[in-house]
Amino acid sequence: MDLDKVIRKVPNFPKPGILFYDITSLFADPEALSYTLKKMEELYRDTEIDGVIAIESRGFLLGAPFALQKKLPLVLARKQGKLPGDIIGKSYSLEYGEETLEIHKSDLTPGKKWLIVDDLIATGGTLEAVASMIETQGAEVAGIFSVIGLPFLKYGEKIGKYEPRTLINYENECVDSK
Ligand code: AMP
């Protein structure tokens, strides 16, 4: 399966100079989605995971089927103001702006190991923020999964210690749009 072929690239979105790797085109391809979930299962077959934290919103669509398949609890990291209960929140910068994510405190059981799932790692700021919330609550990061990695944005400096895993990496932004 050549994931590059099913990932839509949109230049200058959402801001000039950003090449947006759009995985909605991967979700629209059942074979590509099923391949992605199979790969996730293979990558984490031998990893001790107590639960999955999926990041709004594309991370939800990967974290939910994975958690269901592995019969693990699924916790949502949501954008500011969406969760009604007692939350822990963290603000951070990402490739093209600022964002705040929140998690229900009562969902983050201390001592448990969480796999964090998102669609793409750019600077690593998003995943670092979620990892920091997990640790603040006395829980642990079991790993980080994302379909796409942009290692040239040096996310390893922020989240390398959590051994992030990706299925496809892009080494620069100079990819023709499809
Ligand atoms: P970062 O925190 O910089 O690693 O940014 C990762 C988050 O922003 C992920 O949730 C991505 O969905 C989104 N993102 C950042 N850069 C891009 C990009 N070039 N293409 C698609 N999504 C992106």
In a domain, residue 38? The reply is yes
- With a cut of 60, say whether residue 42 has pLDDT above it: yes
In a domain, residue 24? The reply is yes
pLDDT of residue 158: 97
* Residue among 4, 94, 118, 128 to mutate when testing ligand 1 (max atoms within 8 A of CB): 94
Rg over CA atoms, the chain = 16
- Cα-to-centroid distance, 154 and ligand 1 (Å): 13
Residue with the two structure tokens 């990967």: 62
In a domain, residue 135? The reply is yes
Query: Coil, helix or strand for 32?
Result: helix
Q: Number of structural domains, the chain?
A: 1
For residue 101, what are the β-bridge partners? Answer: 79, 90
In a domain, residue 174? The reply is no
Where in the sequence is the domain holding 91, given as residue range(s)? 3-169
Query: Coil, helix or strand for 93?
Result: strand
Q: Write down the pTM of the prediction.
A: 0.96
The region of weakest confidence among 76-80, 155-159, 171-175 is: 171-175
Q: Which atom of ligand 1 is nearest to the CA of 121?
A: 4
